[in-house]
């Protein structure tokens, strides 16, 4: 970042930022950027912290420089092969998100891809091609295939597809919901190479009683108890038979890294990432909805009718979270960017996606949604790819601006200005993304 195009969040010295009567020391000592994020989401333009006025966009992510004010007050990730800019949301299990400005690539590099675990990370496979996958349950032919046999028996496919954590956007709920406090960084769009799950299930021969899948992996439970699963989720057979649901062994043209589930995982696009089981060892076909770890109670479930924020959940009134909501993010400029004096236009870049649906349009605003400018959508490579978008907005003078982005899906539903449909696990938080820029 040049001297003229740098982060103004957390700068020392007097300038236009200081004129808001919020010093760097006051801001950083009062709350972390994302620690106040949920509150900011409920007040579209500003909020008061210890008598100081905090521009709301500053609460939506770490500054462009990644300086002292880190997302969630957490430390930067230090993991082999990963960029230092990723932010740790949890250490046990290891969870790390990608700040929006690091999602500026058309294809998300492995080094920038978010990390989500539910249990312990297993040791890397000594011989990946010998890794075994079992398909059993409501099938006519029980299968036990090594990765080498999968590669030789079935025709691989490569698709660029979004993988998104079910709790992405959770930090914007108020009151705070349980779980890792994701901003918008629990998503990435990689090129996945693997075998269509449908072809493997067809080879196994689904019985008429086949209704649901159940997934199992090699990741040990956090407690070390071998009788417990770290996670075991499943999906209706119709979703499993979609041509883009893959049994994956390569990511961006490289063997699937261990941290991302290598040597074998599922990628089930459009639905919560928890369905895309890592270190996959078995798929059992069931004659009923799966009831494994992560399938019951309020886990990966949302209420059928709006509930009082912070209220007691009636688990009988919850349904399984399936297609993820529409979301758009601004990937450039980064939040907190300082532009040279006299800048009167700023070029924007970003990404948008919509679960099982498609993105119909993206709009951006510099005046808190009073007026909107339609962005240009780049074509997607395949279904479930994200839409890269660009736009140029005018700035009337030097000063402070918030840039908002809003995506609309193919059913006409658009991102809300604030989070809604509160639920105890914080799913579906897709409020408009906002970034702050300072001109001059």
* Spatial distance between the Cα atoms of 178 and 306, rounded to a whole number of angstroms: 17
Kind and range of the H or E run holding 101:
none
Res 135: pLDDT: 98
Looking at residues 321-343, what average pLDDT do you find? 98
Out of 17-31, 322-336, 342-356, pick the least confident: 17-31
Please write the tens of the pLDDT for every residue from 256-307: 999 999 999 999 999 999 999 999 999 999 999 999 999 999 999 999 999 9
Handedness of CA 146, 147, 148, 154 (dihedral sign): positive
Q: Where are the domains of the chain?
A: 128-320, 327-439
Res 56: pLDDT: 55
Res 63: pLDDT: 46
Was domain 128-320 assigned CATH 3.30.1330.10?
no
Please write the tens of the pLDDT for every residue from 71-111: 445 689 999 999 999 999 999 999 999 999 999 999 999 99
* Spatial distance between the Cα atoms of 205 and 134, rounded to a whole number of angstroms: 14
Q: How confident is the model at residue 29 (pLDDT cuts 50, 70, 90)?
A: very low
SS3 353: strand
Query: Which DSSP state fits 308?
Result: -
SS3 130: helix
Torsion of CA 170, 49, 68, 440, to 10 degrees: 110
Q: How confident is the model at residue 28 (pLDDT cuts 50, 70, 90)?
A: very low
Average per-residue pLDDT for the chain: 88
Res 341: pLDDT: 98
Note the pTM of the prediction, 2 decimals. 0.88
Please write the tens of the pLDDT for every residue from 103-154: 999 999 999 999 999 999 999 999 999 999 999 999 999 999 999 999 999 9
* Spatial distance between the Cα atoms of 152 and 307, rounded to a whole number of angstroms: 51
Region label for 360, one of left (φ > 0), alpha (ψ between -120 and 50) or beta (otherwise): alpha
Q: How confident is the model at residue 7 (pLDDT cuts 50, 70, 90)?
A: confident
Res 122: pLDDT: 98
Contacts of 169 (CB under 8 A, 6+ apart): 182, 183, 184, 186, 327, 419, 426, 428, 429, 430, 431
Q: Which CATH class is domain 327-439?
A: mainly beta
The reply to whether 327-439 shares the fold of 128-320 is no
């Amino acid at each position: 970042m040049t001297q003229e195009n740098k982060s103004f969040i957390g700068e020392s010295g007097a300038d236009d930022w200081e004129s808001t009567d919020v010093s760097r020391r006051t801001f950083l000592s009062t709350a972390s950027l994302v620690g106040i994020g949920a509150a900011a989401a409920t007040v579209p333009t500003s909020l008061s912290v210890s008598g100081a006025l905090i521009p709301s966009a500053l609460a939506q992510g770490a500054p462009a420089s990644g300086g002292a004010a880190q997302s969630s007050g957490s430390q930067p990730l230090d993991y082999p092969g990963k960029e230092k800019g990723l932010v740790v949301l949890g250490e046990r299990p290891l969870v790390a998100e990608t700040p929006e400005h690091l999602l500026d690539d058309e294809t998300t590099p492995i080094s920038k891809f978010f990390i989500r675990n539910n249990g312990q990370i297993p040791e890397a496979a000594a011989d990946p091609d010998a890794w075994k996958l079992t398909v059993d349950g409501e099938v006519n032919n029980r299968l036990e295939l090594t990765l080498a046999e999968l590669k030789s028996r079935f025709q691989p496919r490569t698709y660029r597809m979004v993988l998104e954590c079910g709790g992405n956007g959770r930090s914007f709920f108020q009151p705070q919901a349980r779980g890792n406090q994701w901003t918008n960084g629990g998503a990435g769009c990689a090129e996945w190479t693997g075998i269509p799950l449908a072809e493997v299930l067809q080879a196994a021969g689904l019985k008429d009683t086949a209704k649901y899948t159940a997934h199992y992996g090699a990741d040990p439970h956090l407690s070390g108890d071998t009788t417990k699963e770290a996670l075991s989720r499943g999906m209706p057979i119709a979703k499993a038979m979609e041509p883009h649901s893959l049994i994956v062994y390569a990511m961006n043209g490289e063997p699937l890294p261990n941290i991302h589930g290598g040597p074998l995982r599922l990628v089930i696009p459009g639905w919560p990432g928890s369905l895309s089981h890592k270190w996959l060892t078995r798929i059992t076909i069931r004659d009923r909805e799966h009831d494994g770890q992560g399938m019951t109670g309020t886990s990966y479930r949302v209420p059928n009718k709006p509930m009082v924020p912070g209220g007691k959940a009636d688990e009988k009134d919850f349904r399984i979270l399936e297609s993820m909501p529409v979301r758009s993010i601004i990937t450039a400029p980064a939040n907190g960017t300082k532009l040279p004096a006299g800048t009167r236009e700023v070029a924007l870049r970003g990404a948008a996606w919509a679960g099982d649906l498609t993105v119909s349009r993206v709009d951006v605003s510099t005046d808190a949604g009073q007026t909107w400018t339609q962005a240009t959508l780049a074509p997607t490579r395949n279904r479930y790819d994200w839409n890269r978008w660009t736009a140029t907005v005018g700035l009337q003078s030097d000063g402070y601006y918030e840039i908002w982005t809003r995506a609309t899906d193919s059913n006409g539903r658009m991102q809300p200005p604030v989070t809604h449909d509160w639920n105890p696990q914080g799913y579906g938080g897709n409020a408009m993304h906002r970034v702050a820029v300072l001109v001059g």
